[in-house]
Amino acid sequence: MKIPVGYTEKAIDKAIKQVEEYRKRFQNLIPDFFERCAQKIISLANDRLSTVQISPTILDGIRNGWQTKKLDDKHFVLENTSDKSVYIEFGVGQVGAENPHELAGKEGYEYNVSNTKSGKNTKWSNPYSGETQWYISFRSLDDIDIADTYYEPLTEPKYARRSRKYIRTSGQPATMFAFNAVQDFMDNKMYEPIWKELIKGL
């Protein structure tokens, strides 16, 4: 962008107005720029989810759970509203703790915590056997949010209810599908062609 500046007061005023006009145009591009960047990151993250061996129903819920939010004129947020997304991203249990997510410490994410809503069973370590695993029940096979590799199905446990599916697990590792998508986006400077495309019309 080049703005000619003359030596007269009138010419300088004109140049200042042109600069202000361009500034407003650039500001108006920011929401569109963020939205396009967000869509690219979502695409990268969803592609990574295709390698996660978990129920397709749960994965579809994560893929469809993306939302963008505007905090102010310069700050936007991309988030996933699925209640399984954080769990799949960061991992869980003893297996997750062995190789924690890079942001686990910064975000205050813990691995050895209650695996029930009531908090009655407070740790993944079994208080009766000392094993670093737990027994969890689900309504159906589609609700099991642990990859097949990381759980053992219990077909007829003594405490089973007919309407529930039971598994024994030590947790699962972090997939970092969102973290790695953002890293790929930034490391490969995928934002540059998006911005160049947007400013063509200026």
Q: Is residue 33 in some structural domain?
A: yes
Q: Does 110 share its domain with 160?
A: yes
Most confident of 98-112, 122-136, 148-162, 172-186: 172-186
Q: Which residue has the higher pLDDT, 154 or 159?
A: 154
For 71-126, the pLDDT digits (tens) are 887 789 999 999 999 989 999 888 999 999 999 999 999 887 654 444 444 455 45
- The H or E element containing residue 76 is strand 76-80
Which residues span the domain enclosing 181?
Answer: 9-86+176-201
Residue 113 lies in a domain: yes
pLDDT at 159 over 60: no
Does 189 reside within a domain?
Answer: yes
Which residue stretches of the chain are H helix?
9-49, 56-63, 85-90, 93-98, 104-107, 177-187, 191-198
φ/ψ of residue 7, rounded to 5: -100, -10
- The HSE-up count of residue 93 (CA atoms within 13 Å, CB side) is 24
| Cα 48 to Cα 5, 41, 52, 92, 166, distances in angstroms | 51, 11, 7, 19, 28
State how many domains the chain has: 2
Confidence of residue 185 (pLDDT cuts 50, 70, 90): very high
